[in-house]
Structure 1
Amino acid sequence: MSSAFEVSVRANVKEITKSLTALAYKQISFATAQALTALAKEVQVDEIENITSTFKKPKPFTKKSVGMRGARKDNLTAIVFVRPIAAKYLEPYEGGGNHVLSGRALFNPKNIKLDQYGQLPRKVLDRLKARKDVFIGPVASKSGTVNGVWQRIPAKKNQPGHLKLLIRFGDALAVSKRLNYRSRAKAIVDRRFNAVFGEAMSKALATAR
């Protein structure tokens, strides 16, 4: 998502270092980097599972958009992120608001079969857009303006030319679900840091020279 936030473990590390031996103290940066990286991986896995359980059949693109960058000894910061395109349309599921529309409001399509992810198949729209007798846009009608995909029907002997609505686009709807990714990430770090850091320190001491 676009709004960054930080979960700090400085206090945890400071408390642990009080009882470390001289050898362990030398390994603390390495162990901390390993622990932060391991925790970031746990947060990444949890967020992918969160997306999978929150949405009905989310697209693989959305699940794969959750990335992770590990920490290093000289940079004790691990980052879990969502790639820009997915972050844009997932943001309302954290802070609230309406669904984010892309392009010409190709959202909430009516009167057409949707794909397994509940969305308008791209190949269907591309095929329609390629037709010379089809256009996309709003049309004024007796019941108000209707935005959608229209077909121009030519006039016949006793029937004037007219427009046929192929796909109707609805307005953006308010999101009703929440990912709560910030609170979930913080909960994992708070719950797991001591155990993960302990494992990392044990491995660091075992390989210390």
Structure 2
Amino acid sequence: MTIRVSSNANALARSLDDFIKRQLPFAIAQGINKTAQRVAEAESENIVQTLKNPTPFTRKSVGVRRAKKGSPTAVVFMKDITASYLQPYETGGVHKLPGTALLNPKDIALNQYGQLPRGIMGKLRGRKDIYIGVVKTAKGSINGVWQRLDVSRNGGVRKKRVAHGGLYDKHLGALKLLIRFGDALPVKKQLNWGKRAKQIVDQWIDRDLADALAAARRTAR
């Protein structure tokens, strides 16, 4: 997911004196870099506005490879890891899953970003009170991570547990669903990464180049 910011300044060069022409490649690079930075900042803000409470890693995933005097093209890019799971927000499709199934939290503590803590599945697999697999319920089979509850098997406690979202399995005992496994869901939001970048380039590139050239003129004096 990259955006290239460049400009053809040949027309400008024909109207400039020799000193400014020598400074022109540097000035062009400066102007392009200023526009590219605008694009990067806007795309970072776009991520924050589009996604629900993204992590710092996701928020800081946009970078800029700056234009140079001999290479007047700047590249605004998204880091590969982030781009891999945000790609559907640009092209459409389903969410990229971190594993073979969507982990849908049900009754488990989440981190400050509303996500399952890193490595949670490994920790749960090592607990004796955890069952991972399919449980048949009155509404159908549910595949997920279940916590075995240490409760009495008498009918009163069992009914109370069911009333609070749990269930009782004759083989596994009283259970609470912590995480439900599911299929990847369609992405409903769009970043419009390319469209937003083009709008900013069209709006600012001429002004940023003009400012950079004006600064070069002032230096010449």
1:62 to 58, 62, 65: 58
Q: Which AA in structure 2 matches 1:77?
A: T
Q: Which AA in structure 1 matches 2:7?
A: V
Q: Conserved in 1, the CA contact under 8 Å of 2:148 and 2:172?
A: yes
Indicate the SS of the match to 1:16: helix
**Range with greater deviation from structure 2 (57-66 or 108-117):** 108-117
How far 1:23 sits from its partner (Å)?
2.0
Q: Conserved in 2, the CA contact under 8 Å of 1:108 and 1:172?
A: no
1:74-113 correspondence to structure 2 within 5 Å: 74-113=70-109
Structure-1 separation of matches of 2:40 and 2:216? 24
How far 1:172 sits from its partner (Å)?
1.5
* 1:76-95 CA distance string (max 9 Å, x none): 22111111111111111111
Aligned to 2:118: 122
Indicate the SS of the match to 1:166: strand
Aligned to 1:178: 190
Which structure has more strand as a fraction of its residues?
A: 2
Structure-2 separation of matches of 1:167 and 1:106? 9
1:162 aligns with 2:165: no
Q: CA RMSD in A?
A: 2.9
Structure-2 separation of matches of 1:68 and 1:82? 9
Q: Conserved in 2, the CA contact under 8 Å of 1:35 and 1:197?
A: yes
1:190 aligns with 2:185: no
1:25-40 correspondence to structure 2 within 5 Å: 25-40=21-36
* 1:58-85 CA distance string (max 9 Å, x none): 1111111111121111222211111111
Structure-1 separation of matches of 2:24 and 2:126? 61
Structure-2 separation of matches of 1:47 and 1:188? 10
From the superposition, tell whether residues 140 and 201 of structure 1 become closer, same or farther in structure 2 (CA, over 3 Å): same
Structure-2 separation of matches of 1:47 and 1:15? 30
How far 1:144 sits from its partner (Å)?
5.3
1:141 aligns with 2:126: no
Structure-2 separation of matches of 1:88 and 1:123? 20
Q: Which AA in structure 2 matches 1:162?
A: L
1:23 aligns with 2:16: no
Q: Conserved in 2, the CA contact under 8 Å of 1:134 and 1:151?
A: yes
Q: Conserved in 2, the CA contact under 8 Å of 1:34 and 1:200?
A: yes
* 1:26-60 CA distance string (max 9 Å, x none): 21110111111111111111011111111221111
Q: Which AA in structure 1 matches 2:134?
A: V
Q: Normalization by structure 2: what TM-score?
A: 0.78
Indicate the SS of the match to 1:122: coil
Identity, in percent, stands at: 48
Aligned to 2:46: 50
Indicate the SS of the match to 2:103: coil
Structure-2 separation of matches of 1:16 and 1:66? 31
Q: Report the count of equivalent residues.
A: 203
Structure 1 residue ranges without an equivalent (≥5) = none
How far 1:135 sits from its partner (Å)?
5.0
How far 1:185 sits from its partner (Å)?
0.8
Aligned to 1:9: 7
Q: Which AA in structure 2 matches 1:39?
A: T
Aligned to 1:206: 218
